[in-house]
Amino acid sequence: MLTLIQIELYKIFKKWRTYIGFIAIGVLVPIIHIAMVFEGSNTLNFMTRNIQQSFVFVGNLLNGYLVSYLILTSLAVHIPFLIALVAGDLLAGEATAGTYRMLITRPVSRTQIITSKYLAGIIYTNLLILWLAFMSLVVGIIIFGTGELLVISNQTVIIFEKSDILWRFLLAYGFASLGMSVVASLAFLFSSLVENSIGPIVGTMAVIIVFIILSAINIDFFQTIKPYLFTNYILSWRLFFDDPVDFAELTKATLILLGHIAAFFSITLFLFKRKDILT
C-alpha cells in the first residue's frame, strides 16, 4: 500500500495542474498582504466602525493574526476549486489517459488502487492547506508582526490575547483541512463516475456553490435543510475564534464531516469495484 501511495504522490506531483493551487496561493496571499500594508488601517477602521465610539483600541491590531484570519475567511470558495482540480483528476485522469488498463491488470486489488489514490489526494489537500497556513500566518507574522486578535462575531467583539491565539489557528487550519478533505472526497467520487476530469471539477464546485447559496437564503424551507448540507460545517473552523469555544458544536461538525468523508469514499469504492473498465 505504501508503494502505491508513493507512486500516486509521484504522479500527482509530476503534473503541472498540481502546482496551480500552490502558485495561486503563493501569488494571491502576498497580494493580500501588500494590500493590507497600504489599506490595512482602513480595513480595521471599517471593521470596528460601529464600536469605535465605545472602545479605545491600543496596540498592534493590524497584525499577522488578523491578516491570516481575514484570508482564511475570504478563501472559502477558492480553495475548494484548487482541491477539486487535483482530486477530480485522480481517477478520471486515468480514464482519459487510458492508463486504467495498465493499472488494473497489475496484481493489486481495486480497493488498494482506490485507497492509495484517495490517500494521495488527501495528502495533497493537507499540503495545500499547510501551504496556505504558511503563506498567510507565518509570512503574515513576518510582515505585520504579532498582537491581539480582534474578531467580530455576531455583533460581538472578541479580542484574544497574544498568548491565546496560536493554538486556535493550529486547530482552525486542522479543521479547514478536514473540511477540504470532504471537498476532495466529493471530487474523488465524481471522478470515479466519468472519463474526463472537467466534469468532477465543475460538479464539485456546482454542489458547493449551490449548497452555500441554499444555506444563505433566509427562507424557512432552506433553513430546515441547512443542517444536512455539509458546506454548513466546512466553515465551522470559525468556532475556534469564539469565546468560549463551543466544543460540543465543533465535535458535531467534525463527526458530520468525517461521516461525509466515509460516505463519499465508501460510495466511490463500491462503484469502482463494480466498474467495467472500457476506456
Partner 1 sequence: MNGDKIIEINSLSKNFKDLRAVNSLNLNVFEGDVFGFLGPNGAGKSTTIRMLLSLIKPSEGSIKLFGKTLEKNRIEILKKVGAIVEKPDFYGYLSAYKNLEILGRISGKEISKNRIMEVLELVGLSKRFKSKVKTFSHGMKQRLGLGQALLHNPDLIILDEPTTGLDPQGMKEIRDLILHLSKDQKKTIFLSSHILHEVELVANRMIIINKGTTRVEGYVQDLLNARKLSVSFEVNDEEKTYNLLAQTGWIKKLESRAKTVFMFMLENNEIAELNKYLVENGIAVSAVIPTRSLEDYFLKITDEVV
Residues lying near partner 1 in the complex (CB under 8 A): 3-4, 7, 10-11, 14-16, 97-109, 274, 276-278
Region of 59 please: left (phi>0), alpha (psi -120 to 50) or beta: left
Written as nine digits, the cell of 99 is: 492508463
Backbone dihedral angles phi then psi of residue 150, each to the nearest 5 degrees: -100, 125
Name the residue nearer to partner 1 (CB basis): 107 or 244: 107
Nearest to 279 by CA among 9, 51, 96: 96
Written as nine digits, the cell of 172 is: 482552525
Name the residue nearer to partner 1 (CB basis): 223 or 279: 279
Name the residue nearer to partner 1 (CB basis): 9 or 187: 9
CB of 30 to partner 1, least distance (A): 29
CB of 187 to partner 1, least distance (A): 20
CA distance 219 to 211: 14
Task: Name residue, grid cell 472578541.
Answer: 158
CB of 63 to partner 1, least distance (A): 42
* DSSP code for 151: E
Name the residue nearer to partner 1 (CB basis): 33 or 117: 117
Name the residue nearer to partner 1 (CB basis): 76 or 108: 108
Name the residue nearer to partner 1 (CB basis): 92 or 165: 92
CB of 14 to partner 1, least distance (A): 6
Q: Is 150 helix (H, G, I), strand (E, B) or coil?
A: strand
Backbone dihedral angles phi then psi of residue 64, each to the nearest 5 degrees: -60, -35
* Maximum separation of any 2 CA atoms in the chain, in Å: 71
Within a 10 A sphere around the Cβ of 109, how many other Cβ atoms? Answer: 10
